[in-house]
Amino acid sequence: MVKAVCDKAHALGYNVAAHVESPEGVRVALENGVDSIEHGAKPDDEIIHLFKENNAFLCTTLSPALPYALFDRSVSNASEVEQYNGNIVFEGIKECAKAAIANNIPVVLGNDVGCPWITQYDFWRELYYFHKYVGVSNAFALYTATLNSAVMAGIGNETGSVEAGKCADLIVTKNNPLDDLRVLRNVDLIMARGRLYNNPKFKTKNIVTKELDKFCDLC
């Protein structure tokens, strides 16, 4: 079934992404032509080989697993079994990311908006989690979230970096995210395709901020 989907999509010029959280799911996806693995799971030598053989990307997503794994269950309302499974997924995502980086497999970042405790405006947290739990530099976290993500999406020649001929897509922060990724929380200016937006505002959910800040070392 996976091969049939991939073959048809590729024939039509599309890439295929697979949301998988188990070693067997990752293996089946890569064996049958999937172009990127979203989430990931604890890899073995065969999985690493399949990533390389298929030139596949890994999209690391720590944000959706973290609340299940690390929140107090009185806050997350997760059952004991859900928290146990959440820990397996969280650890698998971390191990997959570390192995991919160690083996020069291209890694990008996602946060799986739609899952509990995930918001559109909090993507900076994924970069910080990547730095904190996977151990990458701030510069590498920024690269995975910008240029490498654009390359995976097939638009690396249009956006993802500040270069002549690309879309004028920028954010401006008061302080330098190379020093501390958490400064991305407060964006002073956005330029999207050359159009400026000063001091962008958005609604926030206080309970989300309060609980997630604990894992961004802000409490």
String of DSSP letters for 183-196: GGGSEEEEEETTEE
Which pLDDT tens digit goes with each residue over 104-156?
999 999 999 888 999 989 999 999 999 999 999 999 999 999 999 999 999 99
> Could you give the C-alpha distances from 2 to 32, 62, 152, 170, in angstroms and in order?
6, 25, 20, 37
Q: What is the pTM for the complete model shown?
A: 0.95
Q: Which domains does the chain carry? A: 2-158 (3.20.20.140)
Q: Is 138 helix (H, G, I), strand (E, B) or coil?
A: helix
Low-confidence ranges of the chain (pLDDT < 50): none
